[in-house]
Amino acid sequence: MPRIVSLLPSATEIVCALGFERDLVGRSHECDFPASVKRLPALTEAKFNPAGASAEIDQRVKQIVREALSVYRVDAPRLREFRPDVIVTQSQCEVCAVNQSDVEAAVADWLGTRPKIVSLAPYALDDVFIDMQRTADALGAPARGVELVGSLRARLAAIADRARKQANSRPTVATIEWIDPLMAAGNWMPTLVEMAGGVNLFGAAGEHSPWMKFDELAARNPEVILISPCGFDMNRAAEDLPALTSRPEWPRLGAVRERRVFMADGNQYFNRPGPRIAESLEILAEIVHPELFGFGHEGTGWRRL
């Protein structure tokens, strides 16, 4: 069986869902699900201090990127010790996790057979499933990939079909992926909002998450606001909420007046394009159409502000 190193949380979840958890020999410092993978050695670390307010973190990361440096560090000597046959990484976002160039640099001077590098690039929702199949193929288990992708697509389709047929309205939705500065959710999220029976206001399917101004949010006046900052759980995200809620225009927003502002665990769900993309849609469906859906995620995956 292949010796696998996964340097991306969603990739670790994919590897495990495909039945290869026992073959994992290393992970990134952010890989934490399933909980059992935390026993594995972490082979990466961030080059910036992740503590502090959202604005401070944003400035630290942007400074590193401006200097044309990588945001993360791969422990190349230790990686070599584990002799992986396959390394799974990503090329979609330079600030979200270790990327393909980091891994290629880490193995550049290895002698003998080099590991196969599988680089995931999930921009649109379909890309998430393509990456699952590519991972399965690289691990020599294409049939497992077909089964996993098929079951997840069926779960998503069932929700989208019910929302399309039974929803009496389609509320407008703004999904916030970073609080300060303000960023809307892009990539697969606009598609999930539409599948949940909402009308997505910001961000385009298949494109990077865009920066936005609070004035734009106020002008569009969404009926539902979902706050799920990248890399944050709900408690951590709540620390930065005053950057939004202290603005004088905030109480006048329709979603605020109707108590349809929600916090979700972006780190575990929406920002992680792995098998729990199905749970992400379930959470959105509960939020957008509570009269139709109830999957039991309230309190753990999301909560009302």
Classify residue 209 as left (phi > 0), alpha (psi -120 to 50) or beta.
beta
Task: Tell me which of 36-40, 119-123, 159-163 is least confident.
Answer: 119-123
User: Is residue 113 domain-resident?
Assistant: yes
**What domain range is 33 assigned to?**
4-121
User: Which of these three, 103, 121, 139, is where a domain ends?
Assistant: 121
What tokens were used for 174?
Answer: 């703004």
Say whether both 173 and 98 belong to one domain.
no
Q: Which residues contact 45 (CB under 8 A, 6 or more apart)?
A: 29, 72, 73, 75
Residue written as token pair 């407008």 = 172
User: Is residue 130 domain-resident?
Assistant: no
Say whether both 178 and 300 belong to one domain.
yes
User: For position 271, which CATH number holds?
Assistant: 3.40.50.1980
Within 10 A of 71 (CB to CB), how many other CB atoms are there? 20
Reported as a pLDDT band with limits 50, 70 and 90, residue 99 is low
User: Is residue 43 domain-resident?
Assistant: yes
User: Is residue 141 domain-resident?
Assistant: no
Report the mean per-residue pLDDT for the chain. Answer: 91
What tokens were used for 296?
Answer: 């039991």
Say whether both 112 and 11 belong to one domain.
yes
Query: For the chain, how many structural domains are there in total?
Result: 2
In this predicted structure, what is the pLDDT of residue 68? 46
Is residue 204 pLDDT above 50, yes or no? yes
Task: Tell me which of 16-20, 76-80, 179-183, 296-300 is least confident.
Answer: 76-80
User: Is residue 145 domain-resident?
Assistant: no
**Model confidence, pTM:** 0.92
Contact, 175 vs 226, CB < 8 A? yes
User: Is residue 221 domain-resident?
Assistant: yes
Say whether both 173 and 286 belong to one domain.
yes
User: Which of these three, 99, 121, 143, is where a domain ends?
Assistant: 121
